A = this chain, B = another copy of it.
Amino acid sequence: MSIGPPTGMRDWLPQDALLRQRLMETIGKVYRLYGYLPIDTPAMEDLAVLLGKGGGENEKLLFKILKRGEKLAQADGELADYGLRFDLTVPLARFVASHQGKLPKVFRRYHIAPVWRADRPQKGRFREFYQCDIDVVGGAALDYEVEVITATERVLKELNLGKYWFRISDKRLLPLFLHGFEVPRAKIDPIAILFDKLDKIPPMQFDDELSVLLPKDSVAWNELHVLIHKASPYVHHEILLRSNTSYYKECFAKVKDALIRDQIEEVCANLDSILQSVRDINSNSRIIFHPLMVRGMDYYTGPVYEAVMDKGPKTSILGGGRYDDLIGMFAGKKIPAVGCSLGFERILAILQERESGTVVTVTNQVLLVNEGATAVLLQQQAEQLRNEGFCIETNLDTDDVGRQFKHAEEAGMRWAIRRFDAAASTITVRDLSKRQDFTMPLSEFKARLAGSYP
């Protein structure tokens, strides 16, 4: 029998579980500043709900729940009745339909929860993983895009992830542009999908793949390459931080069909309005217009955005946009919605990498050393320290002091309390990393620990 977790799934040891918890708490705390509140839904949904959008790719990735008892015995054909959720968007649509009367007209929610996909496991891709979505349901104004972006940039700042680029475009823009240069309708989607890989594959390979879809040195080919050059990541981005869509004005102006040009202008006006507002509200915003950015999701209907780290792999750390046709699908009416999905696992991996090597700071547990006191006396002292807010672990076995220090170090602790004088409110602690003892007022020790978690 295998004693590991199921394929593609993970056990969480305390250090990682704490880090994950801290990440969830930080994200929640920031979104609550903006009036977003948590919701939750069951891990499983009716199969009909999950396959409501036609199934397709998702059906293949579903973990289905076997029917039970009588229902299984009588089952012909479909053996399952439920499935585990594969995202948090379908459950949100179901939730909104189910609780329509109880939700505010503009419903801001966040949802941080695991989802399951029976995908082929690979590095960084799991069969059980967390998603973290915020959405405004019922808000049609562009101001909601602005709010979602502003809140999300505050999350990134609070997490202190490092330098990132927050790219925005509009789902309709690249197709309009291609259409404007007479690219056949059937090629537009494949080209858009290829652009999703722009950052991830070498330029030569990109051109090779593009040449299958588009004649080399056709007008469209050339104009796309002008755009590619102007948007070239990490060359012109600092300029883009201060630019809006007019940076690409000349490219768009080359579209001959006036109707298409008008449509492009309208889309650009919307984006400029978002760019301007986001920057007016947050002068440190790292938002840039990136006309070639394509979010893979079919269901977006307007502005879309993503963020990528300046350093490291170019997988996005978040993505989102407006999707006005999806949330109403179970409620039977059109409900505008705009949201953002943080790449929870990706962000966690970045934090894990950063913290590795400094494991000691992850816990603020302190060992109260047992140097021969009775268990009761030791626990009485421990209780006094806990009343002061210290996280105290005691050794209730008869290990010698050296062994106690060793265990504490292995568990990621930095400090061991050797003597606590409650009357004088002083403490003698050993810095396990320096193997040195210090005596200090309790308040000073408290201040030293204050920076650490939790």
Interface residues of A, Cβ cutoff 8 Å to B: 1-6, 9-14, 17-18, 20-21, 25, 28-29, 32-35, 37-46, 48-49, 52, 60, 63-66, 68-69, 79-80, 82, 84, 94-95, 97-99, 102-106, 108-109, 114, 116, 118, 128, 139, 141, 143-144, 146-147, 150, 154, 277, 280-282, 330-331, 363, 365, 375-376, 379-380, 382-383, 386, 389-397, 407, 410-411, 454
A327: shortest Cβ distance to chain B, in Å?
A: 13
Alpha-carbon gap, A292 to B38, bound state (A): 43
A116: shortest Cβ distance to chain B, in Å?
A: 7
Alpha-carbon gap, A301 to B90, bound state (A): 46
Which of B14, B65, B114 touches A37 (beta carbons < 8 Å)? B14
Alpha-carbon gap, A49 to B330, bound state (A): 38
Which residues of B have CB within 8 Å of A154? 386
Known: A4-B98, A17-B37. 5 other contacts (CB 8 A): A6-B42, A17-B40, A44-B63, A141-B375, A143-B396
A39:B65 contact, CB within 8 angstroms? no
A1:B46 contact, CB within 8 angstroms? yes
Given known contacts A99-B11, A365-B32, is B17 in contact with A379 (CB within 8 Å)?
no
A397:B11 contact, CB within 8 angstroms? no
Which residues of B have CB within 8 Å of A282? 383
Which residues of B have CB within 8 Å of A105? 397, 407
B116:A43 contact, CB within 8 angstroms? yes
Alpha-carbon gap, A104 to B408, bound state (A): 9
Alpha-carbon gap, A390 to B108, bound state (A): 17
* A30, closest chain B residue (CB): B386
Which residues of B have CB within 8 Å of A40? 11-12, 17, 20
Given known contacts A18-B37, A392-B34, A410-B104, is B380 in contact with A281 (CB within 8 Å)?
yes
* A40, closest chain B residue (CB): B12
**Top 6 A-B pairs, shortest CB-CB distance:** A35-B393, A14-B37, A9-B42, A12-B40, A143-B396, A64-B66
A98:B5 contact, CB within 8 angstroms? yes
* A9, closest chain B residue (CB): B42
Alpha-carbon gap, A41 to B3, bound state (A): 12
* A379, closest chain B residue (CB): B281
A118:B365 contact, CB within 8 angstroms? no
A389: shortest Cβ distance to chain B, in Å?
A: 8
Which residues of B have CB within 8 Å of A391? 32-35
B43:A14 contact, CB within 8 angstroms? no
Which of B38, B80, B379, B383 touches A21 (beta carbons < 8 Å)? B38
Which of B281, B365, B383 touches A376 (beta carbons < 8 Å)? B281
Selected A-B contacts with CB under 8 Å, 28 pairs? A1-B49, A2-B49, A3-B331, A5-B45, A6-B42, A6-B46, A9-B42, A11-B42, A12-B38, A14-B39, A17-B37, A35-B365, A35-B394, A37-B363, A42-B128, A43-B128, A64-B65, A104-B407, A104-B411, A106-B397, A106-B407, A139-B397, A141-B396, A143-B396, A144-B396, A147-B394, A277-B376, A281-B380
Which residues of B have CB within 8 Å of A396? 106, 139, 141, 143-144, 147
B38:A17 contact, CB within 8 angstroms? yes
Which residues of B have CB within 8 Å of A390? 33
Alpha-carbon gap, A97 to B17, bound state (A): 18
Alpha-carbon gap, A34 to B379, bound state (A): 10
